[in-house]
Amino acid sequence: MRDVAVVGVHMLKFGRYPDKDVVQLASETTIAALKDAGCSINDIELVASGNLYQSNAMIGQRVMKEIGATGIPVINVANACATGSTA
Instruction: Average the pLDDT over 49-76 and give the result.
Output: 86
Judged against a pLDDT cut of 80, whether residue 30 lies above it is answered with yes
Closest CA to 27 of 56, 70, 74, 65: 65
Question: What's the Rg (C-alpha) of the chain?
Answer: 13
SS3 helix, strand, coil % of the chain, rounded to 5?
A: 40, 10, 50
- The pTM for the full model equals 0.81
pLDDT for 55: 63
* Contact (CB, 8 A) for 25 and 53: no
**Do residues 25 and 12 make contact, with C-beta atoms less than 8 angstroms apart?**
yes
